[in-house]
Each structure stands twice: as C-alpha cells, then as structure tokens.
Chain A
Amino acid sequence: MNNLIPSFDWHRVVVQPWVDDLPITLWIVLMGFFVTAACGLVGNFLLLRRMALVGDAISHSILPGLVVAFMIFKSTNTWVVFAGALAAGMLTVLIIEFIHRQSRVKPDAAICIAFTTLFALGVVLMSMLESAGSFHIDADCVLYGEIAFVPLEPPVVWDGRELGPPSALRMALVLTAVALAIALFYKELLVTSFDPGLAKSLGMRTGIWHYGLMGALALVIVSAFESVGAILAVAMLIVPPMFAAQLSERLSFRLAWTVFHAALSALIGLHLSVWLNCSAAGAMVVAAAALFLAVWAASQARRWMRFRSKIFQSAGAQIVGDPA
C-alpha cells in the first residue's frame, strides 16, 4: 500500500512540473481547462433541462460514429472522424426519442438502451478492426482518454512559429465558439431551458434550440473524446455546473463559476496526477468532484450552523410561530 501513494514531495509535485517540464505541463493544464470549461458551459444548460444523462448517452455513442467513419473513408482525418461522431451523437438523440415515443419504454430506460447498444457496437467494430490489424486504438483510451499525449503531438506550425498541439488548439477553438454562442444566444437558451411553453408562446422555435444544444453537446464531446474519453467527459459536463449551482442562483454567475471551476480543477488535477502518478484526466475529474464536495460540505455546515443558532435563539419559544 505504501508504494501506492508516494510521499508528498513539494518540489517534485508542485515546482518541478512548472520548472523542468514547462511546455508539457502547460499544455496539459490548458487542454484540461479547455475541455472542462467547454463541457461545463454546455452542461449548465443540460442540467437546467434535466438532461444530464443525455450527455452520458452521447459521449458513449459517438464511438461507433468514429469507427464507422474510419471504416468508410479509410482515413483518420479530423473532419471525417468528427463528422462521423457528430452523426452518431445526433442519431442517439433520435433513437432515444424514437423508442420513447413509439413504445411504452420510459425515457430513462430508452437512454440506457440506446447508448449501451451503440457503444457495444463501437467496441465490437473496433476490436474487429484491431484484430484485422488496420486500426489501432487502445480500448481503454475510449473510456478515459489520454490527456498526457496531447503535448506530444506534432505542433501546428503557422508562419514559421510553433503554435501548439493541434488537439489543444482545436479545443480552444471549440471553447471560444461555445462561449460566443452562449453570449450571443443567452436569452434564447435561458428561456427555452427554463420554460419551453413560454418560449413557444413568444414565438421561439424550441425544437431548433433543443437540437442546437444537442449539436453543441456532440461537438464538445467529440473534441474532448480523445483527451478525456467517453466517461470522464460526462464528469466534465456535469460536475462544473453542479459546483456552480451550489454557489449561485443566477445563470450568468453560474457560467462564470463554471469557468473558474474548470481552471482550478485542471490545475489541481495535474498536480494530483504528478503526485500519485496516475491518469491526468482521471485526476482532474477527482479534483473537480472534490471541489464540488468541498462547496457542498461548506453549504451543509453553514445550514447546520444557522439551524443551531436558530434553535438557541428561540429556546423556550415556540419554533413554529402563530402564522396569523
């Protein structure tokens, strides 16, 4: 057991990564931040619509999309893979709705059926390709990705200067796009998420916003897929908005807290993974969850303190007063 948790060496864990391995550390933290922030921003709206687990479903089911796109076009070109994954993500949403509408299977079961079957299809196709020797991807990577490989990619060179690893740049682009879209359509997204009935009566086309959100969801998950994998992407979608919701009642503040949480958990996660010598993406999720738990514990403690002081104040008096 002692081997499992190395002693906490300040220099090795906190200083060294930034001094000796600056580019690697920087790109991992940045990538972690981009992924968590982009997922978290979209996740806020999922949470409002009580669709957090649709994110889970999409993140699993883009796998067959990736594999099928590769099989058809025989290329790992980013755009091909991307289109395939996006199509699979949308297909999942459609399948879930189809099962739910056409049978009496409840939506929760429909979600579970749709994504597990598609994911299984993806794994089977992938293993077949692998045993045929034409495709190589570690099956486990599909689940939790490998963010540590990001800095090792051949950097994008533009105008003679190295800009950085392509996947990190792509993720930055996605984050910018998501942030811009939210800034532009904040009002519409808010209304359609909060009260679709009102939105309809205002003449908004709720269907468009619904599918737009699903599209954005598929977009962030697909771009996050290779660095954090199918399941950890779900954490990035759900945990930051939950953290933010503990801290603020207002959506705009929540969005800001989400970004803050993303930065903090990427940073803490990196150091955690250096310390414990474990998967960086996993450690970022652990850090994100721990941050949420800390805020949650604090709010519980505060509630408890208030409750106690109230009891002391009203000792002897009736706790529930006469309402008249």
Chain B
Amino acid sequence: MKLPGLALSLAVVGFVVLIPEAAEAARINELSDSTLIDRAARFFTFRDPSLRNALAGSMLLGVCCGLMGAFLVVRKLSLLGDALSHAVLPGVALGFLWNMSKDPLAIFVGATLAGLLGAGTVQLLRATTRHKEDAALGFVLASFFGVGICLFTMIQNLPGGNKSGLDKFMFGQAAALGSSDVILLGVVTALALGAVVVFYKEYAITSFDAGFARSLGMPVQLFHYSLMLLLAFAIVSSLQAVGVVLVSAMLVIPAATAFLLTDRLPRMLVLSAIFGMVSGGAGSFFSFVGRNLPTGPFMVLAAGTVFAAALFFGPRHGIFSRWWRQRSRSARISRENTLKAIYHVLEDQEFAIEQVSARELAERRRETIEEAQHQLGTLRRHQYVTMSNDGDSASLTPEGWRRACEIVRNHRLWELYLTNAAHLAPDHVHEDAEKIEHVLGEETVRMLEKRLNYANRDPHGRLIPGLEDMRFAGARHLGQSRATGFGNAAAH
C-alpha cells in the first residue's frame, strides 16, 4: 500500500520532467500579455522547460519535505523544523560568498552546515542552561536569522558579483529553479525516500519509543542525527523554490494533514508526501499564473487549505464528521427513548391496547403534545410506527416493537445487574441504566442474561421482555399474550 502510493507520486513527477521535447518550447517572456486563462492553459501544456523545472522541483520538494515532516510531526519536533529553516540563512549567504555566485552546490553545503550548527546549538543550550526547549529554538531561529540578515545586507552593499536572485531565497521563486537545482532536489528526495524505505523499522521505533529502542541495543542517536541530516538536506534543497521563511510550513502542514486522516505511520508517510506534492504543484501553478509571484506563499496556502479541509471534513477525526456522528447518535437516543415511552404506556395498560396517542405519550414524558407529535413523526419516518388516519395515535410496527423491547430489556437487565452484581440500591440504578441502555450490544446482553441466571423481573418487579416477546409481529398480538419475559420463554 505504501510503495504503490510513492511510486505513483514519483511517476507523476517523472512524467512532468520527461514530457517530450517535440513540442516547440515557447519563451517565457512571450507570454507577458496573455490573460490568466491563457497562462493557465499554457501551464498545462508543460512546454516551457523553465516551467517544467519549476513544476518538477516544486513537486519533488513537496514529496521530500512531506516525508521528513511526517517524522517531525510524530516526534513533536515541528518547531525544530521552523528553527532550522530560519537558521540556514547565514549558510546561504556564506555559500554565495564562496565564489560570489548562486552556485547550488556551494549554497547547499553552506546552508546544511548552518542548519546543523543550529541544531547543535539547540542541543547545547538545552544541555547547559535551564532554558526550555521553546527558548532555545527561538534563540537559534532569531539569532541565526539576524546573522543571515547582516550578511545579506553586507552582500547587497558589495560591488560586483551576480547578486540577482539572492533575495528570492526569502519567499522562493520556483521559476528560478535551474535544471541543476531540480537534479539536487531529485537526489535529496531519492535519498530521503531510500532512507525511509530501507530503515522504516528503525525510524519508526526510534520515533515512537526511543527508550525501548535503546534497550534493544539500537543506535538511537545515530538514527536521530541521520534524520536531522536528511531534514537539513530537505530544507536546504527546497529553499530556492519555497523560501527560507516558509519551508517549515511545507514540512509541517502536509504531515499534520496526513496525521489527521490516518492512524498508521506508513499511510501517514505516503499521504504526507502526496499532500506535499500536490501543494508544491499548486504553488508553482498559481505562482506562474500570477506572473511569477513568489511561490512559497502559494504552496503554503494550498497546503493550509488541504489541512483545513481535513480538519473539518476528515472522515474519522474531522470536526464536522464528529459533530455529525454526535448528532445522529443523539437523534438515535431520542428515538429510542420515545420507543421506550411507548412501551411504558402500553405496559401500563397491560398491553390491552395497541395504539398510543400523542397525548398519552406527552403525559408519560411530561412534554407538550406538539413535542410528542413531533417525536411520533420522527418514528414514523424511521418506520417504527404507523399512524392512525387522524394522525393522532400511533401503533408500533414489528420492527418498532422489537427495538422498544430491546431498549426496555437493556434498561431493566442493567438495573438488575447493578443491584445484583454491584450491590447498588434499586433506587440508584435508573440514571446509569438510562445511559447504558443505548450502547449495550447483543453480545453483552447475552453475557448479562447468563450472569443473572435468566431472571425475568427487574429490581422494581417489572417483567423484562425477552427474545420470545420480540418475535411477536407487533403490539397487536399482545391482546392475547402479554409480555412474558424470557424466563417464561425458557419455561415453555
């Protein structure tokens, strides 16, 4: 499940890179006056080599950051990603100073070193001062960035050198990705992917329970630092496209989105990589359509939108989904309570009648007649009752009768269980049973019946309806044969 997903995402990236060159490449400045729609259409022809680089690079960075970010999120190190991504700035400047040009390799090396120095500083501050994690991270983030800003402004004031494009490292410019940048990203992504696939077991256990991993004799520190190194690689190779300020978002947001949607680490890794890729692609698309606006912010907005969608509409943990489940559960509980009330009304009449009027129901539940009518209407929609012609009284359908019996049985069984097994006074058990009756499963009921020796009367002396009673096709048969209790059924 894991490999096909990753293979798919890589295939998409490969497709973009390897679009046949047959189509004549158009020059990017020919497009200057076209409309947004034209530009969008142009984007999807993938004819521009620079556009292809931008798109492939953005998607690769999404995959790479998504994979690394998943480990950051489950290790609760999200803010380390934030700190490191800012801390690489002085390294970028020094890499540029190496030979006064935007040599990807020099910048890569410089930034990686700065990132590792930042990570080391965080560790050192944590170990030698009383400052907490957040302060150490904040210190590294801000002071390294300050050094970087000083270096950058010094470079801006220098004569000579090809300084253009250096400012793009702040917010990213996917369009400025050269083929060597894309190759670098490809190598880093392959490295990250390879490490995660080969050492999945080790990374998973050291992330989940480092103490246990060490008790197995695993070199936990080694895996931690290798992960940090890969993280630094991911951050640094992504700088050109997404920018220093927002790399951390591409690390954390896709991973957090995936975390909302699944309970399994392999799936989370795949989803995170896919969300990263999609956000990266969307970022470069909008950046292109919007006439080379900075790419990073668009990627982050795309990722943020996906996150918000997962937060609200995620099938299991989504806010909206949970609310909906909650609502349908309370609707079910309210229906079951109405059924129970109907049963009680019938029981009070010793099952001599079949129909229950809204007024009787309302009296029983101490509610207004309108409310009772509304409840009966709900039951009718669920085909638990049929209404009389004047619409005022209802009789249970076989299904409704069965459900009503179940609920009453659950309630009384539980009351009996609490009084017999837990030795509670009979007047203390009603409240609890009111809640439990809606959640008892058939299996538990069988168990309860067995433990209670198939008793047929509850602590208040009322009959507990049994399976035999439920088999009647509905209340209309009750004129002859009243609720017997399953004890009676067994006695036949």
On A, residues with C-beta under 8 Å from B are 1, 3-4, 47, 50-53, 55-56, 60, 99, 102-106, 108-113, 116-117, 119-121, 123-124, 127-128, 131, 139-140, 143-144, 231-232, 234-235, 237-239, 241-242, 245-246, 272-273, 276-279, 281-286, 288-289, 292, 296, 300
Which residues does chain B contribute within 8 Å of A128, judged by CB atoms?
A: 290, 293
Looking at chain A's contact residues, the main secondary structure is helix
* Residue from A53, A102, A120 in contact with B134 in the complex, judged by beta carbons closer than 8 Å: A53
Complex CA gap A277/B153 in Å reads: 8
| Residue B384 CB within 8 A of the other chain | no
Given A278-B157, A282-B150, answer yes or no on A51-B134 (Cβ-Cβ < 8 Å).
Answer: yes
B294 touches A127 (CB 8 A): yes
* Min CB–CB distance A248 → chain B (angstroms): 12
Complex CA gap A47/B298 in Å reads: 33
Which residues does chain B contribute within 8 Å of A131, judged by CB atoms?
A: 290-291, 293
Range class of the B interface residue count: 35 or more
In the complex, residue of chain B having the shortest beta-carbon distance to the beta carbon of A54 = B134
Which residues does chain A contribute within 8 Å of B259, judged by CB atoms?
A: 104-105, 109
Which residues does chain B contribute within 8 Å of A238, judged by CB atoms?
A: 135, 138-139, 142
* A-B CB contact pairs (8 Å), 25 listed: A47-B131, A56-B138, A103-B311, A104-B259, A108-B78, A109-B78, A112-B78, A112-B79, A116-B253, A117-B253, A117-B300, A120-B297, A120-B300, A121-B301, A140-B170, A235-B139, A239-B139, A276-B154, A278-B153, A281-B149, A282-B148, A285-B142, A285-B143, A286-B146, A289-B143
| Residue B473 CB within 8 A of the other chain | no
The 4 A-B residue pairs with the shortest CB-CB distance in the complex, in nearest-first order: A285-B146, A235-B142, A116-B249, A289-B143
- With A112-B82, A117-B249 known, 17 other A-B pairs at CB within 8 A are A52-B134, A52-B135, A53-B138, A109-B255, A109-B256, A112-B252, A112-B253, A113-B252, A116-B246, A120-B300, A131-B290, A140-B170, A143-B149, A238-B138, A282-B147, A289-B139, A289-B146
B150 touches A283 (CB 8 A): yes
| Residue B128 CB within 8 A of the other chain | yes
| Residue B476 CB within 8 A of the other chain | no
In the complex, residue of chain A having the shortest beta-carbon distance to the beta carbon of B283 = A120
A292 touches B145 (CB 8 A): no
Which residues does chain B contribute within 8 Å of A4, judged by CB atoms?
A: 97, 154-155, 158
| Residue B39 CB within 8 A of the other chain | no
Given A51-B134, A103-B260, answer yes or no on A112-B143 (Cβ-Cβ < 8 Å).
Answer: no
Complex CA gap A56/B83 in Å reads: 10
Which residues does chain A contribute within 8 Å of B138, judged by CB atoms?
A: 52-53, 55-56, 234, 237-238
A104 touches B317 (CB 8 A): yes
Which positions 296-333 of chain B face chain A at CB distance < 8 Å?
296-301, 303-304, 307, 311, 317, 319
Chain B 139-173: CB-based contact to A (< 8 A → 1; otherwise 0): 10111011111111111011100000001001100
* Min CB–CB distance A293 → chain B (angstroms): 9
Given A117-B300, A279-B153, answer yes or no on A50-B134 (Cβ-Cβ < 8 Å).
Answer: yes
* Min CB–CB distance B149 → chain A (angstroms): 4
A3, A60, A245, A288 — most chain B CB neighbours (10 Å): A3
Which residues does chain A contribute within 8 Å of B78, judged by CB atoms?
A: 106, 108-109, 111-112
A124 touches B297 (CB 8 A): yes
* Min CB–CB distance B234 → chain A (angstroms): 15
A3 touches B145 (CB 8 A): no
Given A106-B76, A112-B81, A235-B143, answer yes or no on A99-B150 (Cβ-Cβ < 8 Å).
Answer: no
Given A105-B260, A106-B78, answer yes or no on A120-B135 (Cβ-Cβ < 8 Å).
Answer: no
* Min CB–CB distance A55 → chain B (angstroms): 7
Which residues does chain B contribute within 8 Å of A237, judged by CB atoms?
A: 138
| Residue B73 CB within 8 A of the other chain | yes
A50, A109, A131, A144 — most chain B CB neighbours (10 Å): A109
In the complex, residue of chain A having the shortest beta-carbon distance to the beta carbon of B144 = A289
Which positions 252-305 of chain B face chain A at CB distance < 8 Å?
252-253, 255-256, 259-260, 290-291, 293-294, 296-301, 303-304
Given A112-B78, A231-B86, answer yes or no on A120-B304 (Cβ-Cβ < 8 Å).
Answer: yes
Complex CA gap A305/B150 in Å reads: 35
Complex CA gap A289/B146 in Å reads: 9
Which residues does chain B contribute within 8 Å of A283, judged by CB atoms?
A: 146, 150
Which residues does chain A contribute within 8 Å of B134, judged by CB atoms?
A: 47, 50-53
B260 touches A104 (CB 8 A): yes
* Min CB–CB distance A303 → chain B (angstroms): 8
Given A4-B97, A117-B300, A140-B170, answer yes or no on A102-B246 (Cβ-Cβ < 8 Å).
Answer: no
* Min CB–CB distance A273 → chain B (angstroms): 8
Complex CA gap A109/B252 in Å reads: 7
B131, B303, B319 — most chain A CB neighbours (10 Å): B131
Which residues does chain B contribute within 8 Å of A139, judged by CB atoms?
A: 170-171, 294
Which residues does chain A contribute within 8 Å of B307, judged by CB atoms?
A: 113, 117
B82 touches A56 (CB 8 A): yes
A231 touches B159 (CB 8 A): no
Complex CA gap A120/B296 in Å reads: 8
B150 touches A123 (CB 8 A): no
